[in-house]
Structure 1
């Protein structure tokens, strides 16, 4: 309760009072706050186990004669392309067996792993340059933009004389602008272009993506400013 007591009397006869306000807290208020630790999400682990266990799988992919089982709903939820193939008007909607002949089994396996876990598999094969290029193509094919960006970022770190031409062709064909710019910056380094021109990959680049020569010429001999 606040308490007041006289303080002094002014020259004009007005009495002033000084009040002291005391606030009492109810006991136990601070102790009532409870912090409950929340575990990290392990949803990806459950989905990985679902892929591994094989329970409830309802579609099989034959990739160059190697079989992979999966869940239609999972594929459709993660990829609009798979959704159209498995639930749209395409012929695969009535099929329990889908054949893929233009992809390596290891790449399709990595693709499935990403669809279920949103991560790349830990094996070293997928981390190699050629495998990353093929995985980027697969990601672009099935509309997996996050996977495509992950592959693009890793490929940007693996550019050298032997890989820059094929990587640049890949970037041009699949619209990965950051990867394309990284390749062009590498080619602009002193002496690099001359070494790259001696490789078979560069000759293939010229025939498969002739328009890229304009970009290469721009970095070697940029147009003069009038």
Structure 2
């Protein structure tokens, strides 16, 4: 019997998850086998390991359900691809939190493939916080394209990003200044902030 059907049907469950008030029945052995977090929680020396009931409040209910789907089936909605960038970003955080490395890699691949002007800064932040080196490289590759950088640096989000991630901005400046197109980046002050201006 497929594990996904076991999860959906609530068959042979031996534990209960309360996710933001919603009850989900699951299987300790499967969770422990796929997640170091659940293994430690359910079979380690922690107090919670004695109780077949866990309360989850640090992850959105929908996101946690997708996480469970992946734990049981290696897919999201029976689809090998994650359907949206927004979901991939949230799932990456959840996968890192619960130690589901395969899902984290899948999210990183999805985000790297679908980088856009709307997502590159949030992807940069995720890559930095959750040590996603491939995603970070994909962000740098996208952001150092002259046309992309020219559109990016005059957004309010970029100004906020500069203040929160100065090291990434410094590296972006360095990489852009040495790009093959010969583009240069100069600095000037706008409303007290050090903005980067791209010029050919």
Interval of TM-score (by shorter of Structure 1 and Structure 2): 0.7 to 0.9
- Measured in 2, the distance between the counterparts of 1:132 and 1:92 equals 29
- Measured in 1, the distance between the counterparts of 2:40 and 2:107 equals 24
Among 118, 123, 131, the alignment partner of 1:167 is 123
Question: How far off its partner does 1:106 sit?
Answer: 1.0
Q: Give the structure 1 partner of residue 15 of structure 2.
A: 59
Q: Secondary structure at the match of 1:67?
A: strand
Q: Give the structure 2 partner of residue 181 of structure 1.
A: 137
Q: Does 1:76 align with 2:1?
A: no
Q: Give the structure 1 partner of residue 191 of structure 2.
A: none
Q: Give the structure 2 partner of residue 216 of structure 1.
A: 172
- Measured in 1, the distance between the counterparts of 2:175 and 2:160 equals 20
| Aligned pairs, number | 178
Among 98, 107, 112, the alignment partner of 1:151 is 107
Distance 1:105 1:195, change over 3 A: same
- Measured in 1, the distance between the counterparts of 2:76 and 2:26 equals 17
Per-residue deviation, residues 121-140 of structure 1 (Å, max 9, x unmatched): 247xx511111001011111
- Measured in 1, the distance between the counterparts of 2:147 and 2:70 equals 39
- Measured in 2, the distance between the counterparts of 1:207 and 1:96 equals 45
- Measured in 1, the distance between the counterparts of 2:90 and 2:62 equals 10
Pairwise CA RMSD of aligned residues?
2.1
Would the aligned equivalents of 1:162 and 1:196 in 2 still touch at CA under 8 Å?
Answer: no
Q: Does 1:85 align with 2:41?
A: yes
Distance 1:206 1:92, change over 3 A: farther
Question: How far off its partner does 1:111 sit?
Answer: 0.6
- Measured in 1, the distance between the counterparts of 2:110 and 2:31 equals 24
Larger relative helix fraction: 2
TM-score, structure 1 length as denominator? 0.72
Q: Give the structure 2 partner of residue 25 of structure 1.
A: none
Residue segments in structure 1 that go unaligned for 5+ positions in a row: 1-44
Q: Give the structure 1 partner of residue 70 of structure 2.
A: 114
Q: Give the structure 1 partner of residue 185 of structure 2.
A: none
Would the aligned equivalents of 1:153 and 1:179 in 2 still touch at CA under 8 Å?
Answer: yes
Among 129, 132, 139, the alignment partner of 2:88 is 132
Among 203, 208, 218, the alignment partner of 2:159 is 203
Per-residue deviation, residues 22-65 of structure 1 (Å, max 9, x unmatched): xxxxxxxxxxxxxxxxxxxxxxx611111111122122222222
Per-residue deviation, residues 98-144 of structure 1 (Å, max 9, x unmatched): 12222111111011011111222247xx5111110010111111222
Which has more radius of gyration? Answer: 1
